[in-house]
Amino acid sequence: MLLLPRIPSSTFPPLHKPIKFIIQCNQPNNNNNKDTKKPNKKQPPMSNTGPKSRKPSYGRSRSSVMKKSFSQEQVVFTAPIPEDPIVGIIGGGMSGLVCALYLEKRGIKSTLFDTGIHGLGGRLGTRMIDPQPLVFDHAAQFFTVTDPKFAELVDKWSKDGLVRQWQGTIGELEKGGHFIPLPPTPPRYVGVNGMRPLADSILSEMSMVDVKRPCWISTLEPFNGMWHVKENGKPCGQFDAIIIAHNGKCANRLLASSGLPLIARQMKRLELSSIWALMVAFDHTLPMPANLATLEGAFIKGVDSVSWMANNTKKLFGSASHGPDCWTIFSTATFGKENKVPQESIPNVTAEKVKKAMLHGVEDALGLSRDLLKPFYSRLQLWGAALPTNSPSIPFIFDAQGRAGICGDWLLGSSLEVAALSGMALANHISDYFQSGGSCPDDFSIGLQNEFQPLKGHDIGQFPGLKAEEVHSETRDLQLSTST
């Protein structure tokens, strides 16, 4: 077999002069066994000023990332699927974890990479502040269950004492203190010790998954019949298939020169909101009007700066709990956009302005006078890529020629439930693909052309089954291949 040194993607010829070439393959195959990069015929040809000699760099502008993704050539794996394939999963949130779990159920090993310094889980985030400790769920607050497959997971968590129903009063709070409680059904579930332990629990169920954390995968390259991943130039492993279980700017950059133009294009269509999370603790109960005395969580209406507030102390430790009251407050998506800054380095002046506006928002919602709320602890975080606002309404995307897939909440909506369903569906699909031997890739490619639709729901996502909740009904019909 002819083995050529790998040609870096940055030296690929412009698309109007397509050539096919071998980038190396070490698997024996009688019929033309090679991985090739082939031009993406769906895209218009690029000019000669294409990405000739520029090195991939994470400091690139958005426009150069766009150009790169559209001009890159499609990688085509033709090596046979090995008997014991291994999958690389980049992202250890709900979707990536559930994907690893369901791959394992089908006997497939994986390595899961996640950037989390404090733990796995992504937007299943719980923050504990010592020494008291103060506890805040600082992303997902509660979830509903509509799908039987997700219900199986939740039943197990429930039996293991990890989740329970949130019985506290939740509703819609309009500016001035007008409150409409939500009916008790559908049940609302919360993590008994916060949301993050659910991630640890999924991990504890698996024995065929190698977790690498904290690890920020910065390069994804097809080479020698496999996907090679690197963190800042350091090799982190090679895989028979790769799964992107995260989204946003980071994923766009990772995909920009990976040899997956169709996946890259779909990912780039995704639009995400920004949401500020303000965690505050008070050494006394909030001075609520009488009608709101039992309120534990509220979707807020008619206030510019705030869309949600929840008493995490009462939610996690019950209505009779003592000690400081910890509240998680979320901004509206509009306020998040108007006050967006780099989330890694929030200027003090912005932090102060945002905190003040959000506390005022809570006071306005409760009908309290301004500057009455004086937390003894506060912490602000910006979720720069918080929630999807559009979706292709398909459980996952899979490029069988490139042996690469995407899972995540945004494929179906914006909730923990759909994130889990997406991970499950992709795992089952890849397992079926491996089982097929990989010889008919066209039969297994999914979601590479789907149009995106705007998503409806609350600013902090969807809660399937909740009153006033509008979810694409057709997504339910698109549950693919969930047999285990």
Ligand X SMILES: Cc1cc2nc3c(=O)[nH]c(=O)nc-3n(C[C@H](O)[C@H](O)[C@H](O)COP(=O)(O)OP(=O)(O)OC[C@H]3O[C@@H](n4cnc5c(N)ncnc54)[C@H](O)[C@@H]3O)c2cc1C
Which residues bind to ligand X, rule: CB under 6 A? 90-96, 113-116, 122-124, 139-143, 215-217, 245-246, 250, 254, 275, 277, 330, 383, 386-387, 408-409, 414-416, 419, 460-461
The residues, any chain, with a CB within 8 Å of residue 308's CB and separated by 6 or more, are: 141, 297, 298, 299, 300, 328, 329, 330, 458, 459, 460
d(CA 116, CA 96): 13
Q: How far is the CB of 190 from ligand X (least distance, A)?
A: 9
User: Is the Cβ of residue 255 or residue 365 nearer to ligand X in the bound state?
Assistant: 255
CB 171 within 8 A of CB 67: no
Q: How far is the CB of 465 from ligand X (least distance, A)?
A: 11
User: Is the Cβ of residue 46 or residue 229 nearer to ligand X in the bound state?
Assistant: 229
User: Is the Cβ of residue 311 or residue 415 nearer to ligand X in the bound state?
Assistant: 415
DSSP 20: -
Q: How far is the CB of 282 from ligand X (least distance, A)?
A: 21
What's the residue count for the chain?
484
Q: How far is the CB of 234 from ligand X (least distance, A)?
A: 13
Q: Tokens in use for 357?
A: 């506006």
Q: How far is the CB of 381 from ligand X (least distance, A)?
A: 9
Angle, alpha carbons 465-415-324 (nearest 5°): 95
Q: How far is the CB of 331 from ligand X (least distance, A)?
A: 9
Q: How far is the CB of 464 from ligand X (least distance, A)?
A: 9
User: Is the Cβ of residue 140 or residue 162 nearer to ligand X in the bound state?
Assistant: 140
User: Is the Cβ of residue 416 or residue 448 nearer to ligand X in the bound state?
Assistant: 416
CA dihedral 195, 198, 203, 206 (to 10 degrees): -170
C-beta atoms surrounding 388 within 10 Å:
27
User: Is the Cβ of residue 120 or residue 262 nearer to ligand X in the bound state?
Assistant: 120
What DSSP element (H or E) covers 180? Answer: strand 178-181
The residues, any chain, with a CB within 8 Å of residue 19's CB and separated by 6 or more, are: 13
Q: Which residue is nearest to ligand X, using beta carbons? A: 93
C-beta atoms surrounding 370 within 10 Å:
10
Q: How far is the CB of 367 from ligand X (least distance, A)?
A: 25
Q: How far is the CB of 145 from ligand X (least distance, A)?
A: 10
What are the backbone dihedrals phi and psi of residue 384, each rounded to the nearest 5 degrees, phi first?
-65, -35
Amino acid in position 200: D
DSSP 53: S
CA dihedral 392, 461, 274, 294 (to 10 degrees): 180
User: Is the Cβ of residue 259 or residue 461 nearer to ligand X in the bound state?
Assistant: 461
Q: How far is the CB of 444 from ligand X (least distance, A)?
A: 22
Strands (E), 33-168: 36-38, 74-76, 86-90, 109-113, 126-129, 134-137, 163-165
User: Is the Cβ of residue 85 or residue 91 nearer to ligand X in the bound state?
Assistant: 91
- Pick from 80, 51, 79: nearest CA to 65: 51
User: Is the Cβ of residue 401 or residue 415 nearer to ligand X in the bound state?
Assistant: 415
User: Is the Cβ of residue 124 or residue 306 nearer to ligand X in the bound state?
Assistant: 124
- Pick from 189, 190, 193: nearest CA to 119: 193
Distances (CA, A) of 203 to 94, 100, 157: 11, 9, 13
Q: Tokens in use for 128?
A: 């504990």
